[in-house]
């Protein structure tokens, strides 16, 4: 989860960012799937023609993104996420919720009640 909330995996403190602004799912083959969580400020990706709204799409690490009025790149977001993952491994702790939020295996679907991306139910 990307947002202003303390529970977000990647916390961005800009006032134009919603508490639960966007979700980033990293697949086992290292594809990055970004979903805007119906935020007021929107999620945007920069293209050759300028900014375009991003609802759900695969993005590359080189992509320039905007959440509300905060501009960043996917590589910067991933760099912010990696130290947190290293701290968890070095303490021997495991945060299953965080791992599920960033790396799901198998088939996934959107939970209709919460909007979260979860493992597909049998």
Instruction: Give the whole-angstrom CA distance, residue 42 versus residue 44.
Output: 7
Amino acid 80: pLDDT: 82
What are the sequence ranges of the domains in the chain?
Answer: 2-103
Residues 32-80 pLDDT 10s:
999 999 888 999 999 999 999 999 999 999 999 999 999 999 999 988 8
Of the candidates 18, 38, 63, 27, the residue with the CA atom closest to the CA atom of residue 114: 38
2-103 belongs to CATH 2.60.200.20: yes
- pLDDT averaged over every residue in the chain: 80
The four Cα atoms 60, 61, 64, 68 give a dihedral, to 10 degrees, of: 90
Is the pTM here over 0.75, yes or no? no
Residue 84's pLDDT is 57
Asked if the model's pLDDT at residue 12 lies above 60, the reply is yes
Q: What is the mean pLDDT of residues 74-87?
A: 74
């Amino acid at each position: 989860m990307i947002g202003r909330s303390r529970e977000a995996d990647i916390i961005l403190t800009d006032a134009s960012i919603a508490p639960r602004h966007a979700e980033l799912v990293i697949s086992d083959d290292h594809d990055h799937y970004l979903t805007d969580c119906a935020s007021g400020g929107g999620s945007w990706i920069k293209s050759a023609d300028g900014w375009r709204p991003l609802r759900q799409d695969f993005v590359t690490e080189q992509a320039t993104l905007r959440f509300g009025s905060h501009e960043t790149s996917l590589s910067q977001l991933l760099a912010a996420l990696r130290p947190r993952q290293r701290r968890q491994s070095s303490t021997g702790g495991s945060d299953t919720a965080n791992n599920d939020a960033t790396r799901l295996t198998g088939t996934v679907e959107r939970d209709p009640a919460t909007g979260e991306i979860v493992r597909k139910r049998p």
